[in-house]
Amino acid sequence: MCSNTSDTTATGTVLIENDRVRVTRWSFARKGDRTGWHRHEHDYVVVPQFDGVLEIDLPGGEHTTAELRTGEPYYRPLGVEHDVISGNDFPCAFIEVELLDRKG
């Protein structure tokens, strides 16, 4: 993920980073915690560590809700721009695996 804006209240902890992948755990301590606006610079996979919802703000004022299930991954291509917000009344987290560009 590219750098976030200063309104980040979720915690991103890089677990693995090398020339092929970056694995980050995003933790939300309470409802309303957010990643901050960001644009993904790589394709990525998210693996939820909870059953619940994330609220997603998109460019142009669009808003959506994502229903997540523990261990059910989803894929997104590079270029996604959004702010991800916890809609849960409990602490939650997901694992984000970014597929970094291979070096020639």
Write the CATH number for 83. 2.60.120.10
Given a cut of 90, whether residue 104 has pLDDT beyond it is no
Q: Is residue 32 part of a domain?
A: yes
**Averaged pLDDT of the chain:** 93
Tokens describing residue 90? 């409990």
Residue 53 has pLDDT above 70, yes or no: yes
- Number of structural domains (the chain) is 1
The answer to whether the predicted template modeling score (pTM) of the entire model surpasses 0.85 is: yes
Helix (H, G, I), strand (E, B), or coil: what is residue 13? Answer: strand
User: Distance between CA 90 and CA 68 in Å, rounded?
Assistant: 14
Question: Residues in the chain, how many?
Answer: 104
Tell whether 5 is covered by a domain. Answer: no
Which range marks the domain in which residue 67 is found?
11-99
pLDDT of residue 101: 80
Q: For residue 87, tell me if it sits in a domain.
A: yes
CA distance 28 to 56: 14
What would you measure as the largest C-alpha separation in the chain, in angstroms? 46
In a domain, 29, yes or no: yes
- Asked if the structure places residue 6 within a domain, the reply is no
